[in-house]
């Protein structure tokens, strides 16, 4: 399992030195290929982020035909970040998204880790069937039940509320699965010893198991946060009044309004990209661990 | 309550909130939709049992069949394309050479951009007059293209932007699978004189089969439900050429407010997805016992 995307240090292997001159040309070809693909993948992202900090008059000026001026700014400005944070409804959307994402993370960590512990360490009737429910819910992408879920939210009277955006996202199959896999490795001897000392299961969970399981909590927190930060389809239909608009929906409105300035659009976009990307760079290992949590092996 | 009964209840207290939540917010809505799909709303707002009427209306609607056709074409191309590219990238970065981690990160980075923002950025890049894509074509001496506003190119444009975002994600899964294959197997094959192609065909592919199957099913589940780029960029057009099934269901529900037909279509979509997840479950089942 690739537990990290981080660089693998070159191994000082005796045969490497001997083969080096023979491999040189294939090495050069490899790096040329790697670099060309990297440029293709990163150019759209670089161009979008660069467009947030250059005067909007020039964003499309040097595009056709493409030249070095397309990618090298002659002048930089932070003006649009100021504008978008003071003259638009974007700050409200930022606050909404932060509030919704963080609430989901806190509640989701508690609820899903408890369930993961239950599945990992207890035997009970109906366990197999209930675990299949957990598996099916995370394998089925959320989009599949947007229309049915909307009917439930309407019945509950939650349309256009924070409840609609937060509560359905808290129980999370993949997080339960991730916690279960992590807790299953926890030595039973330690739990038994604590039981003999008279500790309750709750106490064992909060005082022994949870503090020793930080990596699983970080991975699950990342998954829940990014799921909510990136959410679009559900907020679009469930709560799209100005009071409850989230970042992704607000940016899509920028695009649909003819009068939007390019600078403001790109600045808002850069902020929306920046949050998950910062989390990714800071916590790369946990990010990939959560992603490949299904533990599927070759 | 006796101690024994409390002990018996304890596991349910641990799993209760989360599993109860899944039953209420994932499973029960499907039951609701099933019920609604068998009813129609009369003018006075009452629900009347309608039997299979909504389903019959769905399967006799040429617009639905167009959406099914577009979704099928979309999936028949995008899934093999994404997986082939992801496998190519995984093979390329599966080596211990200096700075390889930088390239892995670079290929994965588009995955951290939401599909909404991906669609918005690519909408500008593919803009026929102002876009970077035509800027590159013109620089290369090639004719500019209409991309999203063309009936022939719009669906392919959506495939391109979804692939840009998705390929690094599947690369990580396949790379993890490749790293499970013991290096000794390849060394033995090399010593026996196996060519790189034969090593790929006779060792890598068979040993990677389960991961590949998993990635294919998971990718299919996502792409069958593709919605955001269609909603944001094409609105199903030009001339229905990008009318993917999920977008059609969205319009039935939230634009035409035809909840009978919308839920009938949603139930059919969920049924297809359940079959896919059933396959996925079988692929995972051998891995662990529960």
Give pLDDT tens digits for B87-125: 999 999 998 888 999 999 999 999 999 999 999 999 999
pLDDT at B199 over 50: yes
Residue A124 maps to a domain? yes
Query: A203: part of which helix (H) or strand (E)?
Result: helix A201-204
Mean pLDDT of chain B: 89
pLDDT of residue B103: 94
Q: Report the mean per-residue pLDDT for chain A.
A: 86
Mutate which of A120, A144, A287 to disrupt the B interface (most B C-beta within 10 Å)? A144
Question: Which two tokens mark A198?
Answer: 């008279």
CB contact under 8 A, A143 and B246: yes
Q: Which among A111, A236, A251 is positioned nearest to A169, based on CA atoms?
A: A111
Strand partners for A223: none
Strand, coil or helix: what is A211? helix
Residues A125 and A55 in one domain: no
- Residue ranges making up the domain that contains A93: 83-291
Range with lowest mean pLDDT among A149-153, A190-194, B11-15: A190-194
Q: Do A162 and A38 share a structural domain?
A: no
Sign, CA dihedral A160-A163-A164-A169, equals: positive
Sorting pLDDT into bands at 50, 70 and 90, what band is B204?
Answer: confident
CB contact under 8 A, B18 and A152: no
Contact check, Cβ <8 Å, A292/B173: yes
How far is it, in rounded angstroms, from Cα A204 to Cα A196? 11
**Across A257-276, average pLDDT:** 88
pLDDT at A6: 45
CATH of the domain at A89: 1.10.3720.10
pLDDT in tens, B267-288: 999 999 999 888 877 877 655 4
Mean pLDDT, range A139-165, rounded to an integer? 93
Shared domain check, A281 and A195: yes
What pLDDT score does B46 carry? 76
In B, minimum Cα distance to A202 occurs at B14
Contacts of B262 in chain A (CB under 8 A): 147
* Integer Cα distance of A18 and A25 in angstroms: 15
List, in order, residues 6 or more apart from A32 with CB less than 8 Å away. none
**Any domain includes A223:** yes
Which pLDDT belongs to residue B76?
95
Residue B160 pLDDT level (bands cut at 50, 70, 90): very high
- Which tokens in the block code for residue A182? 């992590």
| Exposure on the CB side of residue A227, measured as CA atoms within 13 A | 27
> What distance in Å separates the CA atoms of residue B22 and residue B218, rounded to the nearest whole number?
20
From the list B92, B125, B177, the residue facing A44 with the nearest CB is B125
Contacts of A231 by beta carbon, 8 Å cutoff, 6+ apart: A165, A169, A246, A248
A61-108 pLDDT per residue, tens: 888 788 888 888 888 889 899 999 998 899 999 999 999 999 999 999
Q: Which residue has the tokens 């239909």?
A: A237
- Look at residue B191 in the predicted model and tell me its pLDDT: 83
Q: Residue B7's pLDDT is what?
A: 76
List the single residue in B10, B29, B173 with the smallest CB-CB distance to A151: B29
CA proximity to A208, closest of A182, A230, A190, A232: A190
Among A81, A107, A133, the domain-final residue is: A81
Answer yes or no: do B106 and A201 touch at CB < 8 A.
no
> Tell me, what DSSP letter sits at residue A142?
G
Domain assignment present for A63: yes
Compute the average pLDDT of residues B1-25.
86
Inter-chain residue contact A64 with B114, CB threshold 8 Å: no
Packing angle of the helix pair B259-285, B209-224 (nearest 10 deg)? 170
Are A51 and A100 members of one domain?
Answer: no
Q: Give domain status of residue A6, yes or no.
A: no
Judge whether residue A7 has pLDDT over 60: no
- Give residue B107's pLDDT: 94
Clarify whether residues A40 and A122 are in a common domain: no
Q: What is the pLDDT of residue A22?
A: 58
Do residues B254 and A109 touch, judged by C-beta distance below 8 A?
Answer: no
Average pLDDT over residues B131-135: 90
| Structural domain count, chain A | 2
A71 lies in the same domain as A87: no
Measured distance CA(A81)–CA(A261) in Å, rounded: 12
User: What pLDDT does B286 receive?
Assistant: 55
How far A135 CA sits from the closest chain B CA (Å)?
7
Measured CA to CA, the distance from residue A24 to residue A14 in angstroms comes to 16
Window 77-106 of A: residues touching B by CB (8 A cutoff) are none
pLDDT tens per residue, range B27-86: 999 999 999 999 987 767 778 888 898 999 999 999 999 999 999 999 999 999 999 999
- Across B224-263, b (16+ Cβ under 10 Å) vs e yields bbbbbbbbbbbebebebbbbbbbbbbbbbbeeeebbbbbb
Q: Which residue does chain A place closest to B140, by CA atoms?
A: A65
Q: Are residues A90 and A68 in the same domain?
A: no
Does B1 have pLDDT greater than 80? no
Measure the CA angle with vertex B121, ends B119 and B123; round to 5°: 65
How many C-beta atoms lie closer than 10 Å to residue A273's C-beta? 21
Question: Are residues A262 and A200 located together in one domain of the fold?
Answer: yes
Both tokens assigned to B179: 């790293």
Q: A168 and A153 in contact (C-beta within 8 Å)?
A: yes
Same domain, A222 and A271: yes
Q: What is the pLDDT of residue A165?
A: 96
Mark whether A20 and A122 lie in a shared domain.
no
Q: Which of A81, A106, A127 is at the close of a domain? A: A81
Name the residue of chain A whose CA is nearest to B20's CA: A171
B112 CA to centre of own chain: 16
Residues A61 and A185 in one domain: no
- Count residue pairs from A and B with Cβ separation < 8 A: 301
Distance in angstroms (rounded) separating the CA atoms of residues A55 and A178: 45
Mutate to test the interface with B, among A6, A38, A40, A44 (most CBs of B within 10 A): A44
Mean pLDDT of A163-186: 93
* Mean pLDDT score, A262-268: 91
Kindly report, residue by residue over B222-241, the tens digit of the pLDDT: 999 999 999 999 999 899 99
- How far does B131 lie from chain A, in Å, by closest CA? 7
The per-residue pLDDT for A27 is: 87
* A26 within a domain of the structure (yes/no): yes
Question: Residue B198's pLDDT band (boundaries 50, 70, 90)?
Answer: confident
* CATH of segment(s) B61-285: 1.10.3720.10
Percent of chain A with pLDDT over 70: 89
In a domain, A218, yes or no: yes
- Chain B residue with minimal CA distance to A292? B173
Measured CA to CA in angstroms, residue A267 lies from A101, A251, B107 at distances of 21, 10, 24
pLDDT at A297 over 80: no
Q: Which two tokens stand for residue A174?
A: 């993949």
Residue A4 lies in a domain: no
Q: Which of A91-95, A136-140, A148-152, B22-26 has the lowest mean pLDDT?
A: A136-140
Residue indicated by tokens 């495939």: B159
Number of helical H runs and strand E runs in chain B: 15, 2
Q: Check: CB of residue B154 under 8 Å from CB of residue B239.
A: no
| Residue A73 sits in the same domain as residue A191 | no
Say what angle helices B209-224 and B154-180 make with each other, to 10 degrees: 150
A198 interface with B at CB cutoff 8 Å: no
Q: Which of A11-20, A41-50, A281-290 is most confident? A: A41-50
């Amino acid at each position: 399992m690739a537990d990290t995307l981080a660089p693998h240090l070159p191994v000082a292997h005796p045969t490497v030195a001997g083969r080096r001159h023979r491999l040189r040309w294939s090495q050069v070809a490899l790096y040329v290929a790697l670099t060309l693909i990297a440029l293709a993948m990163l150019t759209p992202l670089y161009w979008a982020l660069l467009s947030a900090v250059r005067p909007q008059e020039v964003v499309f000026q040097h595009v056709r035909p493409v030249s070095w001026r397309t990618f090298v700014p002659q002048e930089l400005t932070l003006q649009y970040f100021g504008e978008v944070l003071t003259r638009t409804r974007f700050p409200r959307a930022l606050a909404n998204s932060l509030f919704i994402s963080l609430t989901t993370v806190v509640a989701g960590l508690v609820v899903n880790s408890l369930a993961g512990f239950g599945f990992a360490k207890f035997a009970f009737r109906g366990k197999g069937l209930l675990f299949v429910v957990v598996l099916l819910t995370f394998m089925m992408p959320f989009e599949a039940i947007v229309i049915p879920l909307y009917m439930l939210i309407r019945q509950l009277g939650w349309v256009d509320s924070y409840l609609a955006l937060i509560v359905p996202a808290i129980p999370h199959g993949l997080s339960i699965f991730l916690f279960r896999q992590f807790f299953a490795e926890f030595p039973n001897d330690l739990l038994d010893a604590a039981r003999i000392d008279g500790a309750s299961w709750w106490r064992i969970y909060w005082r022994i198991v949870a503090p020793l399981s930080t990596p699983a909590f970080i991975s699950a927190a990342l998954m829940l946060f990014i799921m909510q930060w990136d959410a679009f389809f559900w907020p679009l239909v469930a709560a799209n009044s100005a009071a409850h608009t989230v970042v992704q929906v607000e940016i899509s409105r920028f695009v649909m309004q003819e009068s939007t300035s390019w600078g403001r659009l790109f600045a808002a976009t850069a902020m929306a990209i920046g949050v998950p990307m910062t989390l990714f760079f800071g916590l790369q290992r946990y990010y990939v661990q959560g992603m490949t949590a299904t533990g599927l092996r070759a | 309550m006796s101690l024994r009964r409390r002990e018996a209840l304890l596991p349910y207290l641990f799993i209760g909130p989360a599993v109860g939540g899944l039953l209420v917010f994932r499973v029960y809505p499907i039951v609701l939709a099933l019920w609604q799909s068998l009813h129609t709303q009369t003018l006075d707002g009452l629900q009347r049992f309608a039997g299979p009427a909504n389903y019959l209306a769905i399967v006799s609607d040429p617009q639905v069949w167009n959406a099914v056709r577009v979704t099928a074409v979309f999936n028949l191309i995008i899934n093999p394309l994404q997986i082939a590219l992801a496998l190519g990238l995984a093979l390329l970065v599966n080596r211990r050479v200096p700075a390889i981690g930088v390239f892995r990160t670079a290929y994965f980075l588009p995955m951290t951009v939401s599909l909404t923002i991906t669609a918005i950025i690519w909408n500008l890049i593919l803009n026929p007059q102002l876009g970077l894509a035509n800027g590159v074509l013109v620089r290369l001496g090639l004719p500019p293209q209409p991309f999203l506003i063309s009936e022939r190119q719009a669906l392919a444009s959506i495939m391109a932007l979804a692939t840009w975002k998705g390929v690094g994600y599947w690369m990580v899964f396949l790379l993890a699978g490749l790293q499970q294959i013991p290096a000794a197997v390849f060394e033995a094959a090399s010593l026996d004189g196996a060519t790189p192609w034969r090593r790929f065909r006779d060792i890598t592919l068979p040993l990677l089969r389960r991961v590949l199957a998993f990635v294919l099913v998971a990718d299919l589940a996502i792409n069958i439900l593709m919605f955001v780029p269609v909603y944001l960029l094409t609105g199903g057009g030009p001339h229905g050429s990008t009318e993917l099934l999920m977008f059609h269901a969205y319009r039935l529900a939230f634009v035409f407010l035809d909840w009978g037909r919308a839920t009938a279509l949603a139930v059919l979509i969920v049924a297809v997805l359940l079959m896919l997840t059933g396959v996925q479950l079988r692929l995972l089942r051998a891995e662990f016992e529960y």
